[in-house]
Structure 1
Amino acid sequence: MQTKIIHINGVGDICLKKSNKARNVSITIKPFEGVNVSVPRSLSFKTAEKFVLKKQDWIQKHIPKIEELENKFTIFDENTNYKTRNHILQFYPQEVESLQIVISENIIKVIYPDDEDIRNIKYQVMIRKAIEEAWRIEAKQFIPERVKQLSEIHGFKYNNIYIKNIKSRWGSCSHIDNLNFTLHLMRLPDYLIDYVILHELCHTVHKNHGKEFWALLDKVSGDAKALRNEMKNWEIRIY
Structure 2
Amino acid sequence: MGKGVGAMKANKTEYQILSPVFEDCWNKFSAEFPHIPHPIMRIGKNKKTWGLCYGCTPAKISLSKALAKMPSKFQQHVIFHELCHIIYPNHRREFYDLLDHFDPTHQKQNDRTNERLARMEEMKKKVMEEMGKT
Partner of 2:44: 164
Tell me the C-alpha RMSD between the 2 structures: 2.3
Q: 1:230 Cα deviation (Å)?
A: 6.2
Rounded Cα–Cα distance in structure 1 between residues aligned with 2:87 and 2:68: 25
- Matches of 1:221 and 1:167, distance apart in 2: 24
Give the aligned partner of residue 26 of structure 2.
Answer: 151
Structure 2, unpaired ranges of 5+: 1-9, 117-134
2:48 pairs with 1:173: no
Per the normalisation by structure 2, the TM-score is 0.65
Which residue does 2:65 correspond to in 1?
Answer: 183
Question: Relative to total residues, which structure has the larger helix share, 1 or 2?
Answer: 2
Q: Which has the larger radius of gyration?
A: 1
Q: Which runs of 4+ in 1 moved over 4 A?
A: 229-233
State yes or no: 1:217 paired with 2:89. Answer: no
What's the offset of the Cα at 1:174? 0.4
Rounded Cα–Cα distance in structure 1 between residues aligned with 2:111 and 2:44 = 24
For the residues of structure 1 that align with 2:64 and 2:12, how far apart are their CA atoms?
12
CA 1:223–1:175: 2 relative to 1, 3 Å: same
Amino acid of the residue matched to residue 200 of structure 1?
A: E
Asked if 1 retains the 8 angstrom alpha-carbon contact of 2:21 and 2:75, the reply is: no
Q: Structure 2: how far apart are the matches of 1:205 and 1:225?
A: 19
**For 2:113 and 2:41, how far apart are their aligned partners in 1?**
22
What is the number of equivalent residue pairs in this alignment?
99
Report % sequence identity.
23
Indicate how the Cα distance of structure 1 residues 185 and 228 shifts in structure 2: closer, same or farther if over 3 A, else same: farther
CA distance in 2, matches of 1:230, 1:193: 18
Q: Which has the higher contact order (CA 8 A, sep 6+)?
A: 2
